Structure formats: structure tokens, C-alpha cells
């Protein structure tokens, strides 16, 4: 009986070892969604996919939509397999054993040896190779092995479909606080006056806006708006109605929070 228990215990330990993936030896790059800033795409994962951790991306009328580099690196494969497998695909080498694959492309916008960064258009969504309709097949690999995809360090959904909004290649913007009264503008932990105050910025100060979102509607110096800006110092949200940005509404190129 004792021998059987030992064997069962060893079997359990082996099962655990099989289920827990090996931890990469090097920190991964900060991978981002492989589409231009602000775009939202439906990403599907399924256990019978090949390889299983790949994501298929779709959105309405996506044929010919631009695909961008998920992280900085060097293009090391630009290949057309015709009507089989990946069809037209690109691989980017990000160093330290990490690569990304972009498959079923309609066409290429890079060449082997080219250095690319965030937001660089590398090709266009297509339906080449073994594909039944337009989509992007996307993979992250470590030392050649398929790994679970992460964007900005956050694990993708396994298994199922999730909407991903890209902050790839997004910029920041500068705004100027104007309270008209000379009073400081409160910085809050969230997009509304019901959130706690985490600091303030003086009237006339320039602030760096990293992203924007909608929240409580506020009337201020620049009219009535439900847009809130996330700033860097102090880190938190300020009402866009009190910040001059040169744009009436969302700022082009600045991502949504």
C-alpha cells in the first residue's frame, strides 16, 4: 500500500511538472497589440489551434488593414508559402530568444534585416495560406517554442474571445491647466469628482497626458465634457474641461485608458 501511495504521489508530481510551463530565463519585451494605436480587435484563442497559444485577430471589413510590429526588433523572415500553412508571413526577432509571427498576410511592408519599432506597419491583414477568411494569426515564441501571449505584461484570455484595444505606437500630449480663478486643479484617482484626490496641479501648469477616457461630465473653462485625462505628475486624472489641448474632444494619437 505504501509503495502504491509513493507511486501515486510521484505521478501527481509528474502531472504538475507537465502542466506548469518553464519560466523563460530572460525578461520578455513589452509586447503590444499588433495594430495601430486606438484600434479594437477581437482576439480568439482555442485549444485546438496550431500552435495552441496563437491568437487569431478579426474585426469588421479587416481585409487590407495594417499590421504593426508588436515590439522593437529585427525582421528575420519574410516568406510566402503560397496556398499552404501561414501563407505570407513575417517573423520579428526581439532578442534574448523572443520572436513574434504574423501570418496569412495580404502583403509585406518590410524586408529581412530591417529594424522595426512600435507602430511600424509591417504588412496587411489577408487570407493567404491555409486560411478560410481574412484575419491575422499572431504568435509569441521563446527559443522557438510557442508561449502564452501577453500584452503590456498582461496574459491574454485562454480560452475564448476577447476585445483588445491597441496602445501600440500611441503618443502622449501636452496640455495647459486653466481654472480661470487661479486655483489649483485637483488630480483624482479616477475619472470623476467622486474619486479621491491624489494631488493637484497649479493653474497655468503644463501636464503630460498619457491616455484619455470618459467619466463624469464636468463643466469648466473649455465647456462641458465627459473626457478625463490621465497625467503623469502627480499620477491621476484631471477633467479635460479645465485643460487646453488644442483639440475639441479626444486627442489624435493619444490612447484610451
Residues with Cβ within 8 Å of 109's Cβ and at least 6 positions away in sequence, in order, are 66, 121, 122, 123, 124
First and final C-alpha spacing in the chain: 59
Give one DSSP letter per residue of 56-70, joined into a string.
EEE-TT-TT-EEE-S
Question: For the residues 96-117, what does the mean pLDDT come to?
Answer: 97
**Residue 118 cell numbers, joined:** 512600435
What integer pLDDT is reported at residue 154 of this predicted model?
94
Give one DSSP letter per residue of 82-136, joined into a string.
TTSTTSEEEEEEEETTEEEEEESEEEES--TT-EE-TT-EEEEEB--SS-SSSBE
Q: What percent of the chain has pLDDT over 90?
A: 76
What integer pLDDT is reported at residue 24 of this predicted model?
59
What integer pLDDT is reported at residue 211 of this predicted model?
84
**Mean pLDDT score of the chain, rounded to an integer?**
89
Angle (nearest 5°) at CA 80 between 86 and 158:
20
Q: Could you tell me the pLDDT band of residue 155, with boundaries at 50, 70 and 90? A: very high
Residues with Cβ within 8 Å of 66's Cβ and at least 6 positions away in sequence, in order, are 35, 36, 109, 121, 123, 124, 125
Question: Does 226 or 13 have the greater pLDDT score?
Answer: 226
**Among residues 205, 208, 252, 184, which one has the least CA distance to residue 37?**
252
Question: For the residues 167-189, what does the mean pLDDT come to?
Answer: 94
**Residue 137 cell numbers, joined:** 494569426
What integer pLDDT is reported at residue 37 of this predicted model?
85
pLDDT tens string 60-92: 999 999 999 999 999 999 999 999 999 999 999
What integer pLDDT is reported at residue 20 of this predicted model?
41
Secondary structure of residue 172 in the 3-state scheme: coil
Give, as one character, the DSSP assignment of residue 5: H
What integer pLDDT is reported at residue 63 of this predicted model?
97
**Domains of the chain and any CATH numbers:** 40-165 (2.70.70.10), 173-244 (2.30.30.40)
Kindly tell me if the per-residue pLDDT of 136 is higher than 80.
yes
What are the distances in angstroms from CA 9 to CA 13, 22, 143, 180?
6, 21, 32, 72
Residue 21 φ/ψ, nearest 5 degrees: -70, 150
What integer pLDDT is reported at residue 25 of this predicted model?
57
- pTM of the entire structure? 0.66
What integer pLDDT is reported at residue 27 of this predicted model?
81
- Half-sphere exposure in the Cβ direction for 130 (13 Å, CA): 5
What integer pLDDT is reported at residue 5 of this predicted model?
30
Amino acid at each position: 500500500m505504501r509503495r502504491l501511495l509513493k507511486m501515486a504521489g510521484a505521478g501527481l508530481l509528474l502531472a504538475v511538472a507537465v502542466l506548469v510551463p518553464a519560466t523563460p530565463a530572460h525578461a520578455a519585451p513589452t509586447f503590444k497589440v499588433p495594430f495601430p494605436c486606438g484600434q479594437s480587435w477581437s482576439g480568439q484563442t482555442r485549444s485546438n489551434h496550431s500552435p495552441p497559444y496563437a491568437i487569431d485577430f478579426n474585426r469588421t471589413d479587416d481585409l487590407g488593414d495594417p499590421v504593426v510590429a508588436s515590439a522593437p526588433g529585427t525582421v528575420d523572415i519574410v516568406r510566402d508559402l503560397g496556398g499552404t500553412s501561414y501563407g505570407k508571413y513575417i517573423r520579428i526577432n526581439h532578442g534574448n530568444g523572443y520572436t513574434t509571427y504574423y501570418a496569412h498576410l495580404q502583403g509585406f511592408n518590410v524586408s529581412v534585416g530591417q529594424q522595426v519599432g512600435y507602430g511600424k506597419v509591417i504588412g496587411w491583414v489577408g487570407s493567404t495560406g491555409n486560411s478560410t477568411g481574412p484575419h491575422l494569426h499572431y504568435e509569441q515564441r521563446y527559443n522557438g517554442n510557442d508561449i502564452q501571449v501577453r500584452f503590456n505584461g498582461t496574459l491574454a484570455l485562454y480560452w475564448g474571445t476577447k476585445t483588445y484595444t491597441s496602445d501600440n505606437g500611441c503618443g502622449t500630449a501636452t496640455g495647459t491647466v486653466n481654472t480661470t480663478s487661479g486655483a489649483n486643479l485637483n488630480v483624482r484617482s479616477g475619472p470623476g469628482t467622486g474619486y479621491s484626490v491624489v494631488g493637484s496641479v497649479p493653474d497655468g501648469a503644463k501636464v503630460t497626458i498619457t491616455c484619455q477616457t470618459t467619466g463624469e461630465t464636468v463643466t469648466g473653462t473649455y465647456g462641458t465634457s465627459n473626457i478625463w485625462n490621465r497625467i503623469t505628475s502627480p499620477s491621476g486624472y484631471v477633467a479635460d474641461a479645465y485643460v487646453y489641448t488644442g483639440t475639441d474632444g479626444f486627442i489624435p494619437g493619444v490612447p484610451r485608458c
